[in-house]
Chains A and B, each alone.
Chain A
Amino acid sequence: MDKQFKDYNLPDERGHFEKFGGKFVPETLIPALEELENYYKVAKQDELFQDELNGLLNNYSGRETPLYFATQLSEELGFNVWLKREDLNHTGAHKINNALGQILLARRMGKNKIIAETGAGQHGVATATVAALFGLECIVYMGEEDIRRQKLNVFRMNLLGAEVRPVSSGSMTLKDATNEAIRDWVTNVESTYYLIGSTVGPHPYPMLVRDFQSIIGKEAKVQFVKQSGKALPNRLVACIGGGSNAMGLFYPFIKDDIKIVGVEAAGKGLESGEHAATLSKGDFGVLHGAASTLLQNEDGQVTLPHSISAGLDYPGIGPEHSYLNESGRVQYFSATDTEALDSFQWLSEKEGILPALESAHALAYLRQDNNGIEPGEHIILCLSGRGDKDVHTVAEALGLNL
């Protein structure tokens, strides 16, 4: 492995992962980002903060989540599949890890209003949950198209006391919800905490979300040794929209000599023009406050992504993933809507686990012909969320009317 990864220590002081990352935001937000960074630096070193967070992760969210050896999958595939069960978290996905961390920061900063963007609704639910827990006002921006696809999560957020604000501009999905959240934040910056749900946005968010999610990889590393008797897995696999569950699993292993694979959403196919495979098909650009990789046209206008999974339906990707891709540390593959649907059913039938459609993309990679996996390998796959929220989408795709 290259020395640059043995000493991996990014982002730099300015929030850059080499040419990716940074702070591309209106001037109004600069003081807010600096304030957040300062509070985070203190909290990171503060035992009281870490104890409170760990207490909530353990006793409120139900960590640690199991590392489950998938016997049936492994038998069928000829290699060993370990599922990191983030689907068993409170609220049904890894999103709560980050939401708990950030809400504690928001409280320290004295902010009384929480805003968030959401795609699939999992981050919105996680944010609404932690806002309810601490009695803070919560507004979640969500594209109208996503509201249609994820009615159940909208109702869950309402039950948790959050206001879901429909966004009808642009593609009416996650990208536009993020624009609207940023506009709210610019306007109410002094009273409002913007609780970003993925490893995207201006510095320090990609770093901060990664750090809060890296509990996934830290636990998995210890669990794997204990359960398998081996020092390290051969390979990690996770799906990528913005990239938070993936960074959470990858980061604690980044200096280890193992293969790491991210799986993007290829929608109706990489050549169809209807996909969300940012790293495969996008190029360098700036969106939502960071330099990264973007789906865009030749004039630099952001183009509309497509994925059956609302959580992956995003034209950008976290800046650290862009760096890990360009530097070659992580390999990025993609899986289509159809492959994800097949794998959704596959895991349900084989292991009795309904995966989120997002996570089903990672599962689909295991079954691809050219994935490079050797027989007998040990693979940890992040099962980032549970599939209950997706049953209507899956039924629709299968031509059923529930």
Chain B
Amino acid sequence: MNRIQKLFSEPKEKLIPFLTAGYPELDSTVELVCNAAEVGADMIEIGIPFSDPQADGPIIQASSQQALDNGITLKTIFEQVTEIRKRTDVPIALMGYYNPILKMGHETFLDYCISSGVDGLILPDLPLEEAEPFCELAKSKGASPILLVAPNTPNERIRKISELAGDLIYAVSILGITGNDLASKDALQEYLNRVRENSVTPFVVGFGISTRDDVVWFNQHSDGAVVGSAIIKNMNGSSNPVERTKSLIQGLKGIIS
């Protein structure tokens, strides 16, 4: 059983913070991830910065641009994951747009993922139509492709997407980009029920999730909650991003420090 399968076999609330690699400083990521895991993050999503992040709102866009200005590259990210793996066993998913991965080459990219200790891959611009070669290769090497579904994805397609993914899928909470406001709870619940009924894998939900109440609610209706923009926003301009992030994660987990 891989780290993702193991985590999602445990019936507990799951919080998945998102961190942009190389942000706020080039070498921030190792400490941020290890500390997040220490205070209870159940899995970590690390964003691979890209020059043209189409699915991201202004907060994550700006953090990606800053990270690129800081000099982040895929190779540096893999070095950082290697360091992280010496200190924690928390499942790690990389979230990245397809072009940098294509440029490195599927094979090389996935070999780096495996050797550094990456567990899952979230590629928001690689839909079912184009995803098969990458997903099959990833699975054969032991990494989990975490494909996305959206509120307008038909039932049958949710099933196919989850079958190709294999271990876990990611339900985008809204029609929109990261950091947008959430839809009404009724509409959300109907959508998440639909994902529950049609997905053959567990699923986490992300986009627009920012509070402890959200984390509780989404864990009731799915298998975990991803918090991204709220975490990046919280550390913007901070002199101690690690401490700020730790206390935010504790708050999101409902731990009173």
A contacts, CB < 8 Å to B: 14, 22-28, 30-31, 169-170, 175-176, 179, 182-183, 186-190, 284-289, 294, 296, 298-302
Contacts and interface: CB of A to CB of B under 8 A. Distances in A.
Interface stretch (B10-18, B95-103, B241-249): B95-103
Contact of A26 (B51, B54, B73): B54
Interface in B56-94: 57, 61, 65, 68, 73-74
A298 B180 CA distance: 32
Interface residues of B, number: 41
Contact of B68 (A188, A286, A301): A301
22 contacts: A23-B129, A24-B130, A25-B54, A26-B148, A27-B149, A27-B161, A27-B172, A28-B152, A28-B172, A28-B176, A176-B52, A179-B52, A179-B53, A179-B54, A183-B57, A284-B102, A285-B99, A285-B103, A286-B98, A296-B103, A299-B100, A300-B103
Contacts of B180: 187
Contacts of B120: none
Contacts of A301: 50-51, 68, 100
B175 A287 contact: no
Given A23-B130, A27-B149, 15 more contacts: A23-B127, A27-B172, A28-B175, A170-B51, A183-B177, A186-B175, A187-B180, A189-B175, A285-B103, A286-B98, A300-B50, A300-B99, A300-B100, A301-B51, A301-B68
Contacts of B187: none
Contact of A22 (B50, B57, B130, B150): B130
Contacts, number: 111
Contacts of B57: 183
Given A284-B102, A287-B99, A296-B99, A302 B127 contact: no
Contact of B153 (A30, A285, A294): A30
Nearest to B176: A187
B104 interface: yes
A186 B157 CA distance: 18
A242 to B, nearest CB: 15
A322 B54 CA distance: 22
Q: Report which residue of B103, B153, B161 has the largest number of chain A beta carbons within 10 angstroms of its beta carbon.
A: B103
A195 B157 CA distance: 26
Nearest to A184: B177
Interface of B: 50-55, 57, 61, 65, 68, 73-74, 98-104, 124-130, 147-154, 157, 161, 172, 175-177, 180
Nearest to B125: A24
Contacts of B129: 14, 22-23, 30
A302 B52 contact: yes
B150 A27 contact: yes
Q: Report which residue of B52, B124, B128, B154 has the largest number of chain A beta carbons within 10 angstroms of its beta carbon.
A: B52
Contacts of A188: 175
Given A22-B129, A25-B125, A27-B149, A298 B176 contact: no
A151 B8 CA distance: 55
A25 B124 CA distance: 7
B109 to A, nearest CB: 10
B61 A30 contact: no
Q: Which 10 A-B pairs have the closest CB atoms?
A: A300-B103, A300-B100, A187-B176, A28-B150, A301-B51, A27-B150, A302-B51, A27-B148, A300-B99, A286-B99
Contacts of A187: 175-177, 180
Nearest to A190: B175
Contact of A300 (B102, B150, B177): B102
A295 to B, nearest CB: 11
A316 to B, nearest CB: 10
Contacts of A294: 99
A175 B175 CA distance: 22
Nearest to B180: A187
A186 B98 contact: no
A183 B58 CA distance: 10
Contacts of B125: 24-26, 286, 289
Q: Report which residue of B50, B61, B125 has the largest number of chain A beta carbons within 10 angstroms of its beta carbon.
A: B125
B208 to A, nearest CB: 11
B21 to A, nearest CB: 12
B103 A24 contact: no
Contacts of A296: 99, 103
Contacts of A182: 54
A170 B101 CA distance: 20
